[in-house]
Chain A
Amino acid sequence: MIQLNTFEEVLKEAGTQNKKLYEICQEHEAEILETSVEKVREKVQINLNAMKDAIFSGLKSKEKSMSGLCGDDCAKLIEKYKSGKIFFSETYQKVLLYSFATIEQNLRMGKIVACPTAGSCAIVPSVIVAMSEAANANEEIQINALITAGLIGEIVSNKLALAGAVAGCQSECGVASAMAAAALVEIYNGTNDQILQAAALTLKNIMGLVCDPVAGLVEVPCVKRNAFLAIYAITGAELAMAGINSVIPIDEIVDAMKQVGELMSPTLKESSEAGLATTKTGLEIAQALIQKWNAGS
């Protein structure tokens, strides 16, 4: 069986077999799951459709989360776009909209696809779906892109636990952004090397991102961070497609992220004991929620 331990190995294997990264990944997956490549792709398609459902439902809702902190930002963006004032392109608007739509479904207990986690679930879908609409990429290409994203996450996860509590938000939203960047290069049919460069550039620039959620909830800063890091992924993909390479190879970047995750204070790894969580406002919100919930509402 081919081993998918490092990016270097996978790139070499794909080169030898003259295949795209997603092909190597789906074959490897079929082997582990003792099934066919078609079945693997069917399963990916199911998850892709679940992502689209979340976007679709999210666009229609402004129901707030249980804490009442978030939930109506997507609706605000839709209103703004009605006014016709556009900073960038319509595609840029879509990426933001789809991102808010997905992450807000998450916080109102809707159905989402953890990608790689629930808190970072909007980054990959918003980029793949919005950018595929822009590029007229059909479902086959979208599935290829999602598998490519998955390959990035899977290899990173061999070394780095994808969990804010272990390695900070660099390992959740940061990795999601790298996955999305890689997927986007696949949508535009970039080379295997460009795919890994896009992921490398993205990871490198998000290293050290802490996890400091207010009141311990997956809302502040997570909701807006998904939108920011979806846009950020596009930068990674665009640079890589232009042939701009990361000076540090991706495997070494992952090693560095792991080291940074270990050095990061536990107070900044989901425990809400520092950072935004302990700002004056962060603490006030946490206190008010404790009172509200103790009062039984």
Chain B
Amino acid sequence: MEKQKTLFDVIGPVIIGPSSSHTAGAVRIGYLAGKIFGEIPQKVKFRLYNSFAKTGKGHGTDKGLLGGVLGLDVDNENIKKAFDYARKLNVQYEFEYANDHNRHPNSVDIHLEGSYKMDITGVSLGAGEVCITKINGYKFNINGDYDTLVLIYKDKPGMVYKVTALLQNYNLNIATMHCDRNAKGQEASMGICIDGSLPESLLTSLAEIDGVYLIRNIEVLKK
């Protein structure tokens, strides 16, 4: 679900240039990926596709993605020095470039390694709008317009109920919800966009549900 357009979509946002899709969009994809990973990675590998691959160097797409993963936001002037910043934090980074017409023109696969490993795919949709479409192979639709709850858990009956019941206890309204799974009875995922924000205590309760492997609260992006 798209949020209503506002004045600040037209006389804003404040971003690092030169391209809203190839620079600001890249920063946002990296930033969301970094939050989903949940820690500063020791290693990160980016595979840029199509237009991202072709014009990425001239638009600073590489610096944007890396800076974003390291937690720099879309208006941070240090994005330009993202490579230096990564070296300072001892983060190894690598870029690959590929052409694949089955993929969105501005898409990237991000492989992150730290105390665990994760694969995240994102696309830049234009005008600085982005979407995280996959986490570890599960389909998601995270665009930073809402506080979003990301869950990966054991696929068994009652999980959706347990999660939504807890949200209900906190009187939180669900804007959208997406579920996916690999195979019956194995692992499954949920992405839930919330109106308002998620209190810390709720996250603790959610994490206590038996069978929840991964839980993240991805806060709404500053726009």
Contact = CB atoms under 8 A, between A and B. Distances in A.
B11 A146 contact: yes
Given A40-B7, A111-B77, A216-B58, A118 B19 contact: yes
B18 A157 contact: no
Contacts of B55: 215-217
A33 B3 CA distance: 11
Contacts of B10: 115-116, 149-150, 153-154, 157, 162, 179
Nearest to A68: B58
B188 interface: no
B115 interface: no
A116 B24 CA distance: 14
Interface stretch (A101-109, A202-210, A231-239): A101-109
B138 to A, nearest CB: 29
B126 interface: yes
A87 interface: no
A248 interface: no
A108 to B, nearest CB: 7
B7 A112 contact: no
Given A32-B4, A146-B11, A163-B127, A118 B75 contact: no
A6 interface: no
Nearest to B12: A47
Contact of B77 (A110, A117, A157, A161): A110
A114 B60 contact: no
Interface string A17-48: 00000000100010011000000100110110
Contacts of A253: none
Contacts of B58: 65-67, 215-217, 219, 289, 293
A119 interface: yes
Contacts of A219: 18, 58
Most chain B CB within a 10 A radius of its CB, from A105, A109, A121? A109
Interface string B1-25: 0001111111111111111110110
A42 B178 CA distance: 36
A119 B80 contact: no
A109 B14 contact: no
B139 interface: no
A43 B8 contact: yes
A50 interface: yes
A187 B163 CA distance: 54
B108 to A, nearest CB: 16
B46 to A, nearest CB: 15
A118 B7 contact: no
Contact of A110 (B9, B13, B16, B54): B16
Interface string B68-99: 00000001010110000000000000000000
A33 B77 contact: no
A181 B17 CA distance: 24
A105 B17 contact: yes
A113 interface: yes
Contacts of A108: 17-18, 80
B17 A118 contact: yes
A165 interface: yes
A109 B11 contact: no
A157 B8 CA distance: 12
Contact of A149 (B11, B51, B79): B11
B11 A163 contact: no
A151 B8 CA distance: 10
A29 B8 CA distance: 9
A124 interface: yes
A112 B17 CA distance: 7
24 contacts: A29-B6, A29-B7, A47-B12, A65-B58, A66-B57, A109-B77, A109-B80, A110-B17, A111-B77, A112-B14, A112-B15, A114-B13, A114-B20, A115-B12, A117-B20, A150-B10, A161-B126, A162-B10, A163-B127, A165-B21, A215-B55, A216-B54, A217-B18, A289-B57
Given A25-B7, A47-B8, A113-B13, 11 more contacts: A32-B6, A108-B80, A109-B79, A110-B17, A111-B75, A114-B15, A114-B24, A121-B17, A147-B11, A151-B7, A218-B59
